[in-house]
Structures are given as structure tokens and as C-alpha cells.
Structure 1
Amino acid sequence: MTGIRELAEHLDISIGTVSRALNGKPDVNDETRRRVLEAAEKLGYVANQAGRSLRKGATGIIGFMMQTGHDITGQGDTFFMRVFDGMQTVLARHKLDLVALLCSSEEDPDAYLKRIVARGFADGIILSATRYQDPRFELLHKTKIPFITLGRSQTDVGQPWYDLDFEGMAEDAIERLVARGHTRIAISRPHGDINLGHVFEDHCRVVLARHGLELDPAHVYRSGPNEPGGYHVAQQVMKSRDRPSAIILLNEATVVGFYRGLQEVGLKPGKDIAVIGQYSPQAQFLNPVLTCFRPDLRALGIALAESLLATMPDFAHHYPDAVRRRLWPMILIEGESD
């Protein structure tokens, strides 16, 4: 691999002259520029991006912070991979790279982000697994690092955000179940203080109240965002004294585990208990076919990247019409499970 030093030695001219010729500076005569460009092509010159980034005061990296206890365990190979694909499609246009910043479930996410910020690791940050109160927002705002959040929070510093429309999911699912005669409706939501759980539960209560119904606290099942979590929810439902007649599973990965838990005791979704969930690629193999909500995750990734770049001075002019904040729609796919 030929670098700028080898190129300069081959041409017997200074590194500075070679650099200015390669970067199109006007103080290099046409003949020298021609020689440099021809030699660069012939010798396979490759620019030292690390050095270039250092000179520009930039890393060329966009970091996506993920908490492994909330993200990777439940959805990493499906949900986030589709979002990442859309994001990198946009970032590649500008020779930027997307890097996952993996915070262990055993580490404080605020301390982890402080360490990343102190190292100057990334030019921009995407935060996921947003909490009801989230100090990370204030940290990035104070340090003036461009960032966007995949999820909302009661902490709000004016940053752009995108979030799945969990209110819309609650609205459509509850209305659908009530129309089918269900009055004992249960929900699942994540453990901990993840904000989407608050948003979803609160709106379920609002829609139920509209019909003179309440969400029984015993019918709010907290679970891990994975198949074992769904299996555990099924076990809890079976133990319930006043078993719900319907359930809405918030996390896509819990559905498979929930189906398995029902099948082990001889119960069938759609017959013994109505089930509505969020789409996953595995859902197409479930029997009966799951009634579910499906977002376009690749398009969400594209929108996230464009909205983030619109806040960064070097790229903002490319995305003058980028939407700063949006609830991302989820389409209802009718199945046979409800």
C-alpha cells in the first residue's frame, strides 16, 4: 500500500507539494499536478484517513450507543441490523462509518457515555434504550456533540428524535380487541425505566378508559426483551387467577417465547387467548399467523442518519428538509392470533 511519503520519494518532490496536488490546491502547476495524479494511480496510492481526520479534528465515525441488556439480547440480529443497514446507506455517501458502542448491562450507561465523550471517539452519537429520565441527553448537549435519539424521554434538550409510534400501536390494538368483545386485556412491557414502556402502558390505559375499562396492574407483565422473557410472560399468564382473554406483546422477540409457553400447556393463540405483537422475521413461521405491527426499519435508519447529519455543520446543507422529530408509523398486519 503506497502512502504519501512513498509517492513523494518516487517523484522526488516534497510531501507538501504532493499533498497540495492531491487536494487540488491552486499553488501547484499543472505539470506537477499531472505527474502526481498519474503516479498516484499507477502506484495505488491510499490516503491515510487517520491522519486526515486528525488534521480536520474529526473521526469520521458515528457512534450508536446500545445497552446490551436492553438491545442486543432481545433484538440485535433483527431490529437493529435493519436500522443499521439504512443508516450506513446514508453515512457511506459521506465516507462516514457507523460503529456500535456496546455498554454492558452491568455498567452504568451514563458513566459509559462519559468515557466515550472524553475520548473524542465519534463525531456524532445515536442513543437508544432511552429512559424516562435520561442524563445522557444533558451530557451530550453540554459537550455540544451532535446527537439524535431513537426513543423519547422526559429529559428533553431540544435534540432531534425518532421513535416508533407506540401510542398508535396501543390505540389500534386496544380498539381491535375491544371490538372483538375483550374486556380483560393484558400487556407486556420491558423491565426497568425504559421510556417506551411508560409510553405504551399510559396510552393503553387512556384507550381502555374510553370504553369504561381499566388495565389491571396484575395484567401488566414485565419481561426481558427476548424469547425467554416471552416464555416467562406465558407462565405468569397461566398462573393468573383472573386470566386475561387477550394480550399485547410490546417487544418483537418475546412473541416466539410466548407462543412456546402457551403450546406447552395445550393452549392456542387466537382460540384460548388473543395475541397481538410486534413483527419479527420469525413471526412468519408462527402458527397461527401472528396479528402484528410492522415498521419499515431500514427506512427508519435512513431517516435517523439524515436527521443527525442535518445537525452537523459539514453535512447540514445536504439535508435541508430533514425532519427533526417524528413518530415512526407501524402498519397493522392482520393474522389469525386475535
Structure 2
Amino acid sequence: MTDRRFPAVLMTTTAILLSGCGAAVEATDRAATTVVNRCGEAIEYPVPQRAVVYEGGSADKLFALGLTDHVLGYVMPPANPPVSESPWAAEYAKVEFLSDDLLNRELVVDVGADFVVAGWNSGFSDSRGITPEILDTLGIHSFMHAETCFNYPGHPEQHTPFEGLYTDLERLGQIFGVEERATDLIAEYRQRVEAVQDQVVDGDPVKVFLYDFGTDKPFTAAAQVPPNDIIRLAGGVNIFGDVEARWTEAGWEAVVEAEPEVIIILEYNDQPAAEKIEFLKTNPTTATLPAVVEENFYILDYNEAISSPRNIDGLEGFAEYLREFAANR
């Protein structure tokens, strides 16, 4: 692939007005840096000009902050739903689609990226040879979702999933010089979460199981991923919410013992929810679960389940479902 890296160019003091949400980045020099934490490690960041983002959550955070002009392109693996379904579909159309494969070092080097946004073990990976440390040696800055720092080695930092989202928006706002826009977004999202909590129906929390994938053993959401906060804040209880992990493998015996009343099905583009529901209905171990017998299934979009501004949409949608469920309990 042709190397399309651009030479550094000094910015004037005039603000660069961005497309998207209309945010403005003000800086006197592209070489000016801001110190921001990256999973507990203080990093000096210049204002990025050629960002590569991995998966919808990374892209949507920058688009929500009005930073489309600073995004070179996106890498979108097959599990991610089509970007045409995103609230930021118009912003995706303004940047390059780089790959439908997993993130890799060769791609970001070849396109001349100066900034990469991804999660730990979701984009960045020791086994695939693309880590923040490796990119540092190549002069490419990186940003990791705070929610994924839970299992990042060497620089521990932990946030509840929704607080991780707010932390990311705050830090990205600092890096790009759009702190006011980030502050406004965080305030808006917190208000929407509070509005959901104000409407939670009194009574025992609804027992909820999230089914990600797996037949011999289910893969599910534990305490340190956004669906756990979605379930909790909506008035439910995640049957694996006491497991201090992110996405985790469980046993069907534990699911049966918990007797979930509602099952969230995670919708992948390449693993439709209908196929997962059919498995739960026909598998003898799960066919008698209360949620399966009553067909209490809720489909959660992939981008509502990973760290993303769309976590708030996922919370509002599931909370509405739980209110109706609780009213007819």
C-alpha cells in the first residue's frame, strides 16, 4: 500500500471549524501537546490529524465530539452492524473505510496514521503485534477505551463501564481541544441516565441473562462491560454481575440455576439474534428457562454493548422494555 503520510504543518491561531457537530479545535501549533492518562500512564498528545478508529464505538466517540475532520478512516470487523445504521452514518461517509478485518500494525503504518483509537484486546493485541507500546516506538499515538483498562497489564486503571465512557469523552476532548463539547455531551448523557433511573419500577429487580454466543458454554457479560451497567441502571440484575471480569465464559448449569426472567440477545452482523434465539428454544438445557418459555427476549445492538455513546441508547431501549415487563409481572 502506498505511503500517504503528510509532513507536519504549523497551524495558524485561527480555529479550524470541524464538520459533524460543529465543534472547533483551537491550537497555535500542531506540535503543542496535552498530557492525558492512557490506562494509568501519562502520555503527551499533540492534536491528531489522521486518526484511525477501530469498531463503531471508537468512531462514534470522535464523531459525537465533532471531530470528523481529524479522522482518516475506520476499520470495521464483520461483527459490527453496517455503518449505514449508525446515528453518525453521514460522518462515516466523509472518511475512508480502511478494512473489514482486525486491526493490524501494517495498516496503520501504511495509511500514515498519527493516532489510533481502540480497546485493549479489542483492536490492540499482544498476539497480533499492535499494542500502544509498539505504536509508541513508531511515533504513532494511541488511545485505549478506559473500560478496557480493567485487564490491561502494567498500568491498571478501573472504571465502571458508563464512567469509562464519560472518561473517554473527557480525555478525547482534552487531546483534541474540544473540552467544552465533551463537557456538554457528558452532562447530556448523565441527564439521560438519571431520567431512566427515575422511571425504574419499584419491586424486586428483574433477573437478566445476556447471551453473547456459544453452544457448549455461553459467553456472557460480567461486571466490567457496558451491558452490566445497562441492566443495572434499567432496574434489572445481571445474573453474572458479581463476576469481576469483562466478557466471560459461563456454564449452562449456572444459567439454569439463576432462572433468568429476561434474556438479552447480543446482535452481531455475522451472527443474527434469530439464530441464537432458535438455539435457546431447541436446546434441552435452556428450553425450560422462564425467559425462554415466556419468550422474553430483548435484542441489544452490538454497538450498544461495546463502549460507545450508543450505550445510552441501549440503556433507554432496555429500560423501556423492563418497565413494560415489570408492569405485567
TM-score normalised per structure 1: 0.38
Of structures 1 and 2, the larger Rg is shown by 1
More helix by share: 1
Q: Structure 2-normalised TM-score?
A: 0.39
